[in-house]
Amino acid sequence: MRITSKTKYALLALGEFKEKDKTVSIRELSEKYLISRKYLERIFSDLETCGIVKGKRGPKGGYSLTKKTDELTLKDIIVCLEKRIDVIHCEDLKKDCIYKKNCYIYPVWDNLNNMINKYLSSITLEKLLIGGKNECKD
């Protein structure tokens, strides 16, 4: 699993949704975080496609969350932007791999993937916004 700048910038930008029902413009985010508008537009387009944010056009337009911050997980965001979060990209990890039966390392990768998925599913955007530092202690 590799977290790209796309996800890092998305999480930074999503931090602006601390206030309930807030609408944030790409221009404001670009100026505040010094990220190009074009790149933020691509990020938010992907987030909108995944149903994480919704866009509103016009003078008071921008993006807002489609879910409450306590319903949106870090896993939701990462999967949306990175497409996968598996540590190992064994194409047959979840399928009927001919080597799976005799593969001594498969259970390790499978357990690690499950642990990461469970951990990322347990962290909501709300938890990050009120003190994500505490999430790294486990």
Q: Quickly state the pLDDT bin for 94 (edges 50, 70, 90).
A: low
Residue 137 predicted with pLDDT over 70? no
The per-residue pLDDT for 78 is 95
Only one residue has tokens 């309930």, namely 20
Identify the sign of the CA torsion 55, 56, 62, 63: negative
Q: pLDDT of 13-57, one tens digit each?
A: 998 887 767 889 999 999 999 999 999 999 999 999 999 999 988
List the CATH number of the domain containing 53: 1.10.10.10
Residue 100 predicted with pLDDT over 60? yes
Euclidean distance between CA atoms 117 and 111, whole angstroms: 10
The per-residue pLDDT for 132 is 59
What are residue 65's DSSP bridge partners?
53
Residue 102 predicted with pLDDT over 80? no
Of 52, 104, 54, which is closest to residue 74 (Cα–Cα)? 52
Domain membership of residue 55 (yes or no) is: yes
Domain membership of residue 107 (yes or no) is: no
Domain membership of residue 34 (yes or no) is: yes
Q: Which residue range is the domain that position 30 belongs to?
A: 5-85+125-133
**Mean pLDDT score of the chain:** 85
The per-residue pLDDT for 104 is 79
User: How many distinct structural domains can be found in the chain?
Assistant: 1
Domain membership of residue 97 (yes or no) is: no
